[in-house]
């Protein structure tokens, strides 16, 4: 049995990654359980996972995690995020369970968060280590394998919308750059509708300053529906790893306009399947947006199809999951079946 362990108070990139990963491993014939560190009030994570068909348990504490692992000893424990990483390593070491950790965060924390990140990174020698981008791997004090995020390809590409609509999706906090997106909207109202999906500490300030330029929708439980009606996903992050929202958009055939940070240059080919711009450079972002807006519907459709080809060829479960299972084996996981054969057969 494989256990995916994370601390999740809201549905974001890590939560989406774990859902996608667990479902792909189930499809490959593995027994998978997701353990949440806590079941937070008003959080929709457990409900979403269970609705997707995942077996979900709640640890509640380090002691609770140890109890769950003793009750059903997994073949490997896979942690995501600093809290799960630190607690998971203590429990795995105590119970002699093979362990691997994925590092997702492209931004470096400050104050207490920076201390937690350092503790997470420096205790990672206990098990295997994965990072979703080369930049994150280079931060690590120990050798870390780059393992791309992945998403399943949508069955059909979405149709290019008749009216231009640009979507920001993410936490409304400094590192995600929602202020840059809103400034872009205020300077380019003639190019289309600008929609902000997400919540966070900057929301009230942004709504007050940019209420006439962008529409604020708050958190959405169905981002695939939102993305399907967008002309493009516009990312304005100051730092990134390899964001799941970008993968999800491209899997639908939605071009991504993104800063050249983290793993995004590996995903977005400028002018081909989307556009790249210089991070925190509004003029560079405006040039990318205007270049996209000058395309004909046929050219936008072609760009969307090329985005889907990128996902299919480099960021799909069929491509990434065999390498992930091999990383599991290096961390101590034992499988009696051929990894590549079972993944490829399960995916069709």
Instruction: Count CB neighbours of 101 within 10 A.
Output: 30
- CA atoms within 13 Å, Cβ hemisphere of 83: 16
Task: Give the pLDDT of residue 112.
Answer: 84
Task: Give the pLDDT of residue 141.
Answer: 94
Instruction: Count CB neighbours of 156 within 10 A.
Output: 9
Task: Give the pLDDT of residue 344.
Answer: 53
Give the separation between CA 147 and CA 104, rounded to whole angstroms: 10
Task: Give the pLDDT of residue 348.
Answer: 53
Give the separation between CA 106 and CA 12, rounded to whole angstroms: 14
Instruction: Count CB neighbours of 111 within 10 A.
Output: 7
Q: N- to C-terminal Cα distance for the chain?
A: 23
- Nearest to 66, CA basis, from 5, 127, 128: 5
Give the separation between CA 149 and CA 151, rounded to whole angstroms: 7
Long-range contacts (CB closer than 8 Å, 24 or more residues apart) made by 64-69: 65/5, 65/35, 65/37, 65/91, 66/91, 66/94, 66/95, 68/35, 69/3, 69/95, 69/97
Give the separation between CA 69 and CA 72, rounded to whole angstroms: 5
The torsion defined by the Cα of 232, 251, 154 and 52, in degrees rounded to 10, comes to -100
- Nearest to 140, CA basis, from 173, 85, 103: 103
CA 112, 110, 136, 242 dihedral sign is positive
Give 155: exposed, middle or buried? Use CB within 10 Å, 0-12, 13-18, 19+: exposed
Residue 258, strand partner residues: 276
Task: Give the pLDDT of residue 105.
Answer: 80
DSSP for 326-341 reads HHHHHTT---SS-HHH
Give the separation between CA 43 and CA 9, rounded to whole angstroms: 6
Question: Which two three-digit tokens encode residue 241?
Answer: 């790893």
Let me know: does 136 contact 300? Beta carbons within 8 Å.
no
Task: Give the pLDDT of residue 83.
Answer: 94
Task: Give this prediction's pTM.
Answer: 0.85
Q: Edge to edge, what strands does the sheet with 55-58 contain?
A: 55-58, 32-36, 2-6, 76-80, 99-103, 128-131, 145-146
Per-residue confidence of the chain (348 residues) as pLDDT tens digits?
A: 999 999 998 888 899 999 999 999 999 999 999 999 999 988 889 999 999 999 999 999 999 999 999 999 999 999 999 999 999 999 999 999 999 999 998 677 678 888 988 999 999 999 999 999 888 999 899 999 999 899 999 998 899 999 999 999 998 999 999 999 999 999 999 999 999 999 999 999 999 999 889 999 998 878 889 999 999 999 999 988 889 999 999 999 999 999 999 889 999 999 999 999 999 999 999 999 999 999 999 999 999 999 999 999 999 999 999 999 999 999 999 875 555 555 555 555
């Amino acid at each position: 049995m494989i256990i995916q362990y994370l601390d999740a108070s809201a549905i974001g990139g890590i939560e989406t990654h774990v859902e996608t990963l667990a479902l792909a491993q189930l499809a490959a014939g593995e027994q998978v359980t997701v353990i949440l560190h806590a079941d937070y009030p008003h959080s929709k994570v457990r409900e979403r996972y269970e609705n997707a068909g995942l077996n979900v348990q709640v640890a509640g504490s380090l002691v609770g995690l140890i109890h769950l692992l003793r009750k059903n000893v997994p073949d490997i424990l896979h942690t995501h995020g600093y809290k799960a990483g630190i607690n998971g390593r203590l429990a795995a070491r105590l119970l002699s369970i093979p362990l691997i950790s994925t590092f997702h965060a492209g931004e470096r924390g400050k104050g207490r968060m920076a201390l937690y990140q350092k503790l997470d990174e420096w205790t990672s020698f206990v098990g295997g280590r994965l990072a979703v981008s080369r930049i994150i791997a280079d931060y690590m004090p120990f050798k870390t394998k780059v393992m791309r995020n992945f998403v399943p390809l949508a069955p059909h590409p979405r149709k290019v919308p008749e009216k231009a609509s640009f979507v920001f999706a993410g936490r409304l906090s400094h590192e995600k750059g929602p202020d840059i997106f809103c400034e872009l909207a205020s300077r380019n109202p003639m190019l289309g509708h600008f929609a902000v999906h997400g919540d966070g500490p900057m929301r009230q300030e942004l709504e007050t300053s940019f209420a006439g330029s962008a529409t604020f929708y708050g958190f959405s439980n169905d981002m695939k529906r939102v993305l399907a009606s967008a002309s493009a996903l516009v990312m304005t992050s100051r730092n990134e790893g390899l964001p799941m929202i970008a993968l999800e958009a491209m899997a639908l055939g939605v071009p991504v306009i993104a800063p050249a940070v983290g793993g995004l240059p590996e995903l977005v080919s400028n002018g081909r399947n989307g556009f790249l711009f210089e991070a925190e450079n509004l003029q560079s972002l405006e040039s990318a947006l205007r270049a996209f807006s000058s395309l004909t519907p046929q050219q936008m459709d072609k760009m969307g199809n090329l985005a889907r080809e990128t996902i299919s060829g480099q960021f799909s479960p069929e491509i990434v999951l065999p390498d992930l299972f091999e990383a599991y084996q290096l961390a101590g996981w034992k499988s009696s079946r051929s990894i590549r054969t079972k993944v490829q057969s399960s995916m069709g």
